[in-house]
Amino acid sequence: MTLLVAAAAAGEPSCYSRLTNEWFCAQYLSDYRQEITDATVQHLQITVASVVLGVLIAFPLALIARRLPRLETLIVGAATAVYTIPSLALLPLLVPFTGLSATTVVIGLALYALTILVRSMLEGLRSVPEDVRESAVGLGYGATRLLVLVELPLALPVIMAGLRVATVSTVALTTVGSLVSYGGLGNLIADGVSTNFRAELMTAAILCVAIAVLLDVLIVVAQRILTPWTRGARA
Amino acid sequence: MNLLLDTWDYLVTAGHWTGEDGMLQLLLQQLLLSLTAMVLAAAIGLPTALWLGHLGRGGFLAINISNVGRAVPTFALLALFVTADWPGTDTLGPYGRAGLATVLALTLFALPPVITNSYVGIREVSPAVKQAADGMGMTGRQRFVRVELPLAAPLVLLGLRLALVQVWATATIAALVAGPGLGRVITDGFYRTNYAKGIAGAVVVAVVALLLELVAAAGVRLLDPTRRASSPNRHPGMSGAPPTVTEEAGDVGS
């Protein structure tokens, strides 16, 4: 309270004081710069770690599912079941095993990303034309070379589409991690709600959407660089 | 692993289920919230998307609304609603504290999957089939009701199913901003370091989510006209068409 009085006495009340409590406030941005930066960095770290972990698990799963159709039903079914569980319920279910840590959030979010990624990988690999595969085998390609040099590049557009969806939703879901105090910008949102701090809330919300858009654009650019042939075909 | 035993104890204690603010009461409240939001979203989203799909307009909007819906954190929108002067935290009848804000947020997040899938469903009906309908002398309305709608049904129903998953998840998150529903058991447990309670709440939420998904899947099987129609003496080409459509748009909604 003394701080507020001092600010008021010094001249104009800041736009985030209890009295004005404005939604948009430049003063808040400069005064709380460190806190906002830390939250944004944590948000990015959790998001990237979750998506990378999701890709690392999804890839072998997709390969196994493709090889063994009987397991495919099981893997896709289990992934769908996980996807059905609300994020706020999934995180507590992991707490007995991983405690109140960033690991809990990363594993939980990786499970959601996994669902989207396994599906898009299976769909992408399935979209490779059979005659292309046969020509490669006819040219003497082994299983590994066929996968890396022929199938993966051709499946890439579909896989990247899945990666975009997974990344954007992971950015949004990271906020729920504030339940175990590792929610990046979600921590600011939670604090904004409990202290009725509008500028903090609005800033965090806008930053979340901005991060989602930024990562989405990055993936699109990466895909363009990785698959130059799709550009030529479209033009 | 003591935590798991405590959680079990919490779940089997009758006192935690009954009475005011018992889990049963909160469960019913969350079901009511979800149902209301689903009805609202279907009432707004279905006619709009189906009509736009029939006319073939507004595709950009119908597709991109899902991308926007995915990028906006449900938690952030709920927080904005509750902190704003309107709708705020006012109690709304059986919907509980911040009821109006929660219903609004749930409806908004249910709309994207409903709109995108319904729109894509109608648009993906093959042009040849539409031309055949026109050639038979069907009016625009007849074509819509008898041809486009039945063929789009798998995707329309998928959209509703995805919306239900989304609504249940968002309704749980409402508790993070002091809203109603079962999520309150989770947040209460965590904020008061009664982790067994928090995890017990999560178990109930997760189990109900899986049950809802099973019910929705069964409902889709019952309602889908393209599945019913695929009797063995049909031309194989006709029953073969709809599944490819389902697969294509599956990633649009998820």
| A93 interaction partners in chain B (CB closer than 8 Å) | 199, 202-203, 206
Q: What is the pLDDT of residue A1?
A: 47
Is A168 an interface residue toward B (CB < 8 Å)? yes
What are the backbone angles phi and psi of residue A129, rounded to the nearest 5°? -60, 140
Q: Domain containing B105: what range? A: 22-228+236-253
Q: Are B24 and B18 in contact (CB under 8 A)?
A: yes
Chain B CA closest to residue A97: B1
State how far Cα B134 lies from the chain centre. Answer: 34
Q: How confident is the model at residue A148 (pLDDT cuts 50, 70, 90)?
A: very high
How does DSSP classify residue A13? Answer: P
Residue B170 lies in a domain: yes
- Report the residue of chain A nearest B165, measured CA to CA: A84
CB contact under 8 A, B71 and A172: yes
Q: What is the CATH number of the domain that holds B52?
A: 1.10.3720.10
Residue A146 has pLDDT above 90, yes or no: yes
The verdict on residue B36 lying in a domain is yes
Q: Kindly tell me if the per-residue pLDDT of B138 is higher than 50.
A: yes
Residues of B in contact with A89 (CB under 8 A): 172, 186, 201-203, 205-206, 209
Among B40-44, B92-96, B142-146, B187-191, the minimum mean pLDDT is found in B92-96
CB atoms within 10 A of CB A82: 16
Quick check: B44 and B139 in contact, CB under 8 A?
Answer: no
Number of domains in chain B: 1
Q: Nearest-CA distance from A85 to chain B in Å?
A: 5
Residue-wise pLDDT for A186-208, tens only, equals 999 999 999 999 999 999 999 99
Instruction: Say what the pLDDT of residue A10 is.
Output: 52
Chain A residue whose CA is closest to B2: A96
Closest Cβ–Cβ partner in A89, A96, A165 for B172: A89
pLDDT of amino acid A17 = 84
Average pLDDT over residues A164-189: 96
Evaluate whether A227 touches A156 at the Cβ level (below 8 Å): yes
Q: Is B254–A175 a contact, with Cβ atoms under 8 angstroms apart? A: no
Span A159-164, average pLDDT: 95
Mutate to test the interface with B, among A84, A104, A165 (most CBs of B within 10 A): A84
ipTM of the complex: 0.87
pLDDT greater than 50 at residue B239: no
Q: B62 lies in a domain?
A: yes
Q: What is the enclosing helix (H) or strand (E) of A196?
A: none
The verdict on domain A35-228 having CATH code 1.10.3720.10 is: yes
Instruction: For residue B106, give every residue at least 6 positions away whose Cβ sits within 8 Å of its Cβ, in sequence order, or none.
Output: B33, B34, B36, B37, B41, B167, B170, B171, B174
Residue B33: CB atoms within 10 Å: 27
A47 touches chain B (CB under 8 A): no
Chain A positions touching B176 (Cβ under 8 A) are 88, 176, 178-179, 190, 193
pLDDT of A6 above 60: no
Task: Determine the distance in angstroms separating the CA of B83 from the nearest CA of chain A, rounded to an integer.
Answer: 6
Contact B242, B151 (CB under 8 A): yes
pLDDT score for B230:
53
- Look at A171 and B71 and tell me if their CB atoms are within 8 Å: yes
Residue A162 C-alpha, separation from nearest chain B C-alpha, in angstroms: 7
Is B215 inside any structural domain?
yes
pLDDT at B229 over 50: yes
Q: Which residues of B touch A176 (CB under 8 A)?
A: 73, 75, 173, 176
Residue B15 included in any domain:
no
Q: According to DSSP H, which parts of chain B are helical?
A: 2-12, 23-55, 59-71, 74-83, 99-123, 127-135, 140-142, 149-173, 183-191, 195-223, 225-229, 236-253
Residue A3 has pLDDT above 60, yes or no: no
Query: Are A88 and B183 an interchain contact pair (Cβ–Cβ within 8 Å)?
Result: yes
How far separated are the first and last CA of chain A, in Å rounded? 63
Nearest CA in chain A to B168: A86
Please give the mean pLDDT across all residues of chain B.
Answer: 86
Chain A touched by B205 (CB under 8 Å): yes
Angle at CA B176, nearest 5°, toward B22 and B71? 135
Q: DSSP code of A54?
A: H
ω into B87 cis (within 30 of 0): yes
Residue A125 to chain B, least CA–CA distance (Å): 14
- For residue B84, give the chain A residue with the closest CA: A198
- B206 to chain A: which residues are within 8 Å by CB? 85-86, 89-90, 93
CA-based nearest residue in chain A for residue B244:
A123
- Across the interface, whether the CB atoms of B71 and A179 are under 8 A apart is answered no
**Three-class secondary structure of residue A87 per DSSP:** helix
Instruction: Return the percentage of chain B with pLDDT > 90, whole number.
Output: 66
**Per-residue model confidence as pLDDT tens digits over A16-47:** 887 888 899 988 998 999 999 999 999 999 99
pLDDT tens string B13-28: 988 998 888 899 999 9
A189:B178 CB<8 A: no
